[in-house]
Amino acid sequence: MARLPTHFIIDRKKFYLKYWTQEQANKVQCDGEFDTDNAVITINKDLKPKDKLITVIHEFLHFLVWYNGLKLSDKSEEKYVDLFSTQLIGILLNPKNKDLKNLIIKILKDN
């Protein structure tokens, strides 16, 4: 299993990732959230790998909306973030898109 990161960097600024257990996620009734006040992403660490990946991408997209100052209603933002995260992972995990997946992996390894 891949090690869970504690932070990520954009423009030399550190942003933090935190993790919930399934029990904690059940209490807040979601598998991830982006806290705009503290710029912290929290993810349910007990999800299945595919669901964890979708949730990570979903919350990163919320982060990018916030970070870039995009003005979307909460409803529109959630709709787009959910659509893009789910479809992006669907494309990358589709066995028919193996060449695309391999290209992305190669680029990531080379950098």
pLDDT at residue 4 in the model: 80
For 45-61, the pLDDT digits (tens) are 999 989 998 999 999 99
Tell me the whole-structure pTM to 2 decimals.
Answer: 0.87
* Statement: residue 2 has pLDDT above 80: no
Residues 6+ apart with CB under 8 A from 59: 32, 33, 34, 41, 42, 43
Rounded to an integer, the average pLDDT of 81-96 is 94
Q: How confident is the model at residue 10 (pLDDT cuts 50, 70, 90)?
A: confident
Residues 6+ apart with CB under 8 A from 73: none
pLDDT at residue 1 in the model: 63
